[in-house]
Structure 1
Amino acid sequence: MVTDETRVVLTSPLSLEGEGESAVDYRAPNLLQRIFSLLKNVRPGSDLTRFQLSPLFNIPKSHLQCYGESVYCVNNDMLSQCTNGKSSIDRFTSVVAWSISTLRPVIFGVAPYNPILGETHHVSKGNLNVLLEQVSHHPPVSALHATDEKENVELIWCHHPVPKFHGASVETEVHGIRQLKLLNQGESYVMNSPKLLIRFFPVPGVDWVGNVRICCQETGLEAELCYKGSSFLGGRANHRSIKGKIFESSSLKTIYKIDGHWDRTVSIKDIKNGKPRVIYNAIEVISGLKTPKVKNPKGVWPSESAVVWSEVSQGILSKDWEKASEAKKVIEEKERGLVKERESRGEPWFPKHFTLSYSKEGGWDCSPIEKWVPPAPFVVY
């Protein structure tokens, strides 16, 4: 979807039924051959954080938009289910289901834009207001703050992706903490992110893999989730599978076993009685997702992702690769110029919406400046 062609470009979110169609729409010709050519001089083990991609390898949206979509692009109000649970174990189970819902299919061979420093993304859905800001460029760190004053829910994320090339694959570790706060209950849930694995041989594909831990100190409950990709030869049995458990932190006593596939259904089985029940259905939650619309054009910031990358996105959508490349070059050169200006004046850069800190023990920490996120100029109906 293109809204106000001269200024704002908004595209449909990644969803289950859209991954194949999106891949056809966005990919350049001979993409796999282009990827091999791009990586032929990259050494295994190399950090790809500073790797510059041509628009040939981009989808028409920023990483900030993808992070935001994983929160506001859902068909079920899963955050309300979290806060409305009658017991601590009910709420914890709903939080596990919500965390699974933040995973989306990723298109092989293409990636979102790396956000520029200070880039923002601000969208509302119902009472949930979501604000993201790129708080660091080298290294890339993205911050997210989302609040729902009616349900008294708050989200704070800090994402620091580190992609590394391993010859036959690229593995991206997503450092940083995700916090979900249910303020009415006085409960805070802390969790990490799975890794993103891009595999070139023998069967090209993209998977979320690795271990995720969800902890709630106030209730003493924890969950361990293990995400698995497809087999080496591309088998479907374990493709996008999840296995894990919910247990008591103090006694390590398992309450529920978790099993399923994040792009299909996920169930829990009660250890006491052996009864299973579905806690997550991907088709119900992340299919048929709606594109944000402009509700208040005058409230759109120049730093908004859909504004910053509009010319590049128009070029990709029309497959005018020369136009897309020139527009991207303009953005990158402008950013380099701003960095040089600040360095010449000895002027540090500070985020507008977050405070940023780093420690060797805890990594990057992004704290929102405002208590509540205001309603956004972009909305999802």
Structure 2
Amino acid sequence: METKKIVLTKPFTTIDNQSSNSDGSYKAPNILHQVLNLFKNVRLGSDLSRFKLPPIFNMPKSQLQWYGECVYSTATGVDLLNNINNGKTALDRLISVVAWTISTTRPQSFGVAPYNPILGETHHVSKGNLNVLVEQVSHHPQVSAFHATDQKENIEIILCHFPVPKFVGSGVEAIMHGKRKLRLHNHGETYEMNCPNFLFRFLPVPGIDWVGDVTIRCHETGLVAELGYIRQSFFGFGGNRRRIKGKIFDSLTMNVLYIVDGHWDSTVTLKDASNAEVRVIYDAKQILSGLHTPFVKDPENVWPTESALVWGELSQAIISNDWEKAREAKKTVEETQRILQRERESKREIWIPKHFIVSQSNEDGWSCSPIQKWVPDAPIVTL
């Protein structure tokens, strides 16, 4: 019996390097014509959650890996979460949370998207003391649960992610439902925030962007940050390309404390509302340059549900530009899932996530609570 391959690929680095989105051997093809043909019969406003992409439109990694990379992949020596924890005041910590939130806004290559995760798929990686675990807790709709912990720093991140992609005429916009909670247990503070929407634009100028409003709120301190990811004009004119603007204020007094301005793919500054002093709080080149590909430290303890294992054959075929093999590999994974689903239905079994307790409500949508207090060390690590 052939052993399955574990294929791990390089995270996205900076915008200037977005044409290379794997380990350096894979380069996203120029497929604008194919993209336009793919969507020519799709109606405006259509929900594309069940839309299946041919392998040529996939990058060699799962969406769970992409979610994980947004948190654990930073430049060597950079620890944004530790910086938050070391803030001397609540305001210092909120400013660091703003910088960390912007750092999770990552570039992506035009024309390709990660694989839709299968039910029960996981991605488990460690970086230093930070352990990250993502699990696909629903397939229709696509819902991913995220848990990251640093036991040494007493930090925890929880997210239940529910993207809904819709065709908007000039492209596809994924509405990113779900709240992210960042807990600093040493300070008794929880920062709750939403995510910007992901815009895949192919007319009139092809491109990728993040758009929409993000609110970061700490209920314990009353401090709030509001960030706006600005949309470009239809023809791309003006200075709003990847622009981010916002403010930090005290919700108890409504006093504006700082003004946020810049570009999420370069630098973001903070202007003190009291004395107009300006300083840089985020530098994308510094944070996202020279990212390392995760590697398998303990192959025997890699879970069979690990993204890099589940999609290993497909990822390798995409990197090798072997599209016939890629189609076969993708079909095999998807058909296996259909068989398992039919078996569960015939036995009237309800699938239960392994690492999260999942609930739904009309007010909050999907909610995911980790079963374990601390994410265990992973057999896959990154520097």
- 8 Å Cα contact 2:211-2:228 kept in structure 1: yes
- 8 Å Cα contact 2:19-2:28 kept in structure 1: no
- 8 Å Cα contact 2:314-2:329 kept in structure 1: yes
Q: 2-side partners of 1:70 and 1:21: how far apart?
A: 17
TM-aligned CA deviation for residue 45 of structure 1: 0.8
TM-aligned CA deviation for residue 6 of structure 1: 4.6
- 8 Å Cα contact 1:127-1:149 kept in structure 2: yes
The reply to whether residue 122 of structure 1 matches residue 121 of structure 2 is no
- 8 Å Cα contact 1:132-1:144 kept in structure 2: yes
The residue that corresponds to 2:57 in the other structure is 57
**SS at structure 1 position matched to 2:18:** helix
TM-aligned CA deviation for residue 198 of structure 1: 1.2
The residue that corresponds to 1:210 in the other structure is 212
The reply to whether residue 276 of structure 1 matches residue 278 of structure 2 is yes
* Aligned residue identity for 2:60: P
**SS at structure 1 position matched to 2:26:** helix
**SS at structure 2 position matched to 1:25:** coil
Q: 1-side partners of 2:362 and 2:163: how far apart?
A: 16
* Aligned residue identity for 2:33: Q
The residue that corresponds to 2:175 in the other structure is 173
TM-aligned CA deviation for residue 297 of structure 1: 0.6
The residue that corresponds to 2:344 in the other structure is 342
* Aligned residue identity for 1:42: V
The residue that corresponds to 2:91 in the other structure is 89
The residue that corresponds to 1:25 in the other structure is 26
Q: Percent identity?
A: 59
Structure 1 20/235 Cα, relative in aligned 2: closer, same or farther at 3 Å? farther
1:207-246 equivalences in 2 (<5 Å): 207-235=209-237, 237-246=239-248
Q: 1-side partners of 2:48 and 2:73: how far apart?
A: 29
- 8 Å Cα contact 1:265-1:282 kept in structure 2: yes
Q: 1-side partners of 2:49 and 2:91: how far apart?
A: 39
Q: 2-side partners of 1:229 and 1:58: how far apart?
A: 25
Q: 2-side partners of 1:32 and 1:25: how far apart?
A: 18
TM-aligned CA deviation for residue 201 of structure 1: 1.1
The residue that corresponds to 2:71 in the other structure is 71
* Aligned residue identity for 1:27: A
Structure 1 288/57 Cα, relative in aligned 2: closer, same or farther at 3 Å? same
Q: 1-side partners of 2:123 and 2:262: how far apart?
A: 32
Q: Summarize deviations over 1:291-344 as a string: whole Å, max 9, x none.
A: 101110111011000000011011100000000000100111110111111111
TM-aligned CA deviation for residue 199 of structure 1: 1.2
The residue that corresponds to 1:43 in the other structure is 43
- 8 Å Cα contact 1:147-1:373 kept in structure 2: yes
Q: 1-side partners of 2:129 and 2:260: how far apart?
A: 31
**SS at structure 2 position matched to 1:22:** coil
For structure 1, list consecutive stretches of 5 or more residues without a partner in the other structure.
Answer: none
Structure 1 5/90 Cα, relative in aligned 2: closer, same or farther at 3 Å? farther
Q: Summarize deviations over 1:254-280 as a string: whole Å, max 9, x none.
A: 000100111111111111111011111
Q: 2-side partners of 1:72 and 1:94: how far apart?
A: 16
- 8 Å Cα contact 1:175-1:192 kept in structure 2: yes
TM-aligned CA deviation for residue 180 of structure 1: 0.2
**SS at structure 2 position matched to 1:108:** coil
- 8 Å Cα contact 2:28-2:109 kept in structure 1: no
Q: 2-side partners of 1:241 and 1:5: how far apart?
A: 46
TM-aligned CA deviation for residue 158 of structure 1: 0.9
**SS at structure 1 position matched to 2:367:** strand
- 8 Å Cα contact 1:145-1:373 kept in structure 2: yes
- 8 Å Cα contact 1:294-1:379 kept in structure 2: yes
* Aligned residue identity for 1:309: W
**SS at structure 1 position matched to 2:21:** helix
- 8 Å Cα contact 1:190-1:214 kept in structure 2: yes
* Aligned residue identity for 2:5: R
- 8 Å Cα contact 1:26-1:59 kept in structure 2: no
Q: 2-side partners of 1:304 and 1:201: how far apart?
A: 36
TM-aligned CA deviation for residue 141 of structure 1: 0.3
* Structure-2-length-normalised TM-score: 0.96
- 8 Å Cα contact 1:26-1:316 kept in structure 2: no
RMSD: 1.5
- 8 Å Cα contact 2:119-2:136 kept in structure 1: yes
For structure 2, list consecutive stretches of 5 or more residues without a partner in the other structure.
Answer: none
The count of corresponding residues between Structure 1 and Structure 2 is 377
Q: 1-side partners of 2:156 and 2:146: how far apart?
A: 10
Q: Summarize deviations over 1:156-204 as a string: whole Å, max 9, x none.
A: 0111000000221111101011000000000000000000111111101
TM-aligned CA deviation for residue 234 of structure 1: 2.4
- 8 Å Cα contact 2:20-2:28 kept in structure 1: no
The residue that corresponds to 2:267 in the other structure is 265
The residue that corresponds to 1:372 in the other structure is 374
Q: 2-side partners of 1:196 and 1:378: how far apart?
A: 28
